[in-house]
Amino acid sequence: DIQMTQSPSSLSASVGDRVTITCRASQGISNYLAWYQQKPGKVPKLLIYAASTLQSGVPSRFSGSGSGTDFTLTISSLQPEDVAIYYCQKYNSAPWTFGQGTKVEIK
Amino acid sequence: EVQLVESGGGLVQPGGSLRLSCAASGFTVSSNYMSWVRQAPGKGLEWVSVIYSGGSTYYADSVKDRFTISRDNSKNTVYLQMNSLRAEDTAVYYCASATRGGSSRAFDYWGQGTLVTVSS
């Protein structure tokens, strides 16, 4: 099975900072990659699908890139409401594995 | 408006069984990919199972041969039958749907989740 590895596991940044989270697949998955945001005590929310397409209603400070095995989620200007855990997920074929998550905090 | 409502969670003894339900509204479950995702207390998201629009089903290794996903098209509902439950199955179980096709087929809708606790 394809493994999904996120880095870092956690980060702390200041409001307004540019934040980048990476996700690496152990084998190529084309662009079948999604990013989800889960705020404390809340349901996961789809941010980006097809590696780089922003889900409707998601602020434009979020962006995704990559294809094949290496992907990134970027928050161009970190806001207090972005405190959350971010997960990548592959969905090219089963199993639809999630990464282990990246916890984003405000410094 | 698309809505997913899970039910059926609760406390069950190790070795017991439970059936979760996910009632959908605003779209047709049989035309979309429907999945279950779980989250153990304080842990990350774990994909559990999926049923494709064509009826094919797939499972995580951790639940294979113990869990069964199915759907009732007349009720627009997806189920997860969980047998031989273990303490490590304790989690919030989310129902999720992928309503777009191809490379856009991520989980765009999620239910609120139902808690399953396996304990004696």
Residue-wise pLDDT tens digits, A73-98 = 999 999 999 999 999 999 999 999 99
Mean pLDDT of chain A: 97
Residue of B nearest to A97 (CA): B47
Cis? peptide before A40, omega within 30° of 0: no
Contact A97, A1 (CB under 8 A): yes
The residue type found at A8 is P
User: If we measure between CA atoms, which residue out of A44, A83, A40 comes closest to residue B108?
Assistant: A44
Extract the tokens encoding A43. Answer: 């349901």
Asked whether the predicted pLDDT for residue A64 surpasses 90, the reply is yes
CA B81 to chain A, closest CA, distance in angstroms equals: 19
The residue with tokens 């307004």 is A16
Which chain A residues are closer than 8 Å to B50 by Cβ? 94, 96
Measure the CA–CA gap between A91 and A33, rounded to whole angstroms: 6
Query: Would you say residue A40 has pLDDT above 90?
Result: yes
Can you tell me whether residue B106 is helix, strand or coil?
A: coil
Residue type, B106: A
Q: How would you classify residue A83: left for phi > 0, otherwise alpha for psi between -120 and 50, otherwise beta? A: beta
Show residues of chain A in contact with B113, CB under 8 Å.
43
Residue partners of A33: CB distance under 8 A and separation at least 6: A23, A25, A49, A50, A51, A64, A66, A71, A88, A89, A90, A91
Q: Which of residues 75 through 114 in chain B touch A, CB cutoff 8 A?
A: 94, 98, 100, 103-108, 110-113
Q: How far apart are CA B32 and CA A16, in angstroms?
A: 39
Q: Which residues contact B55 (CB under 8 A, 6 or more apart)?
A: none
Distance from CA of B113 to the nearest CA of A (A): 8
- Summarised one tens digit per residue, pLDDT across range B37-86 is 999 999 999 999 999 999 999 999 999 999 999 999 999 999 999 999 99
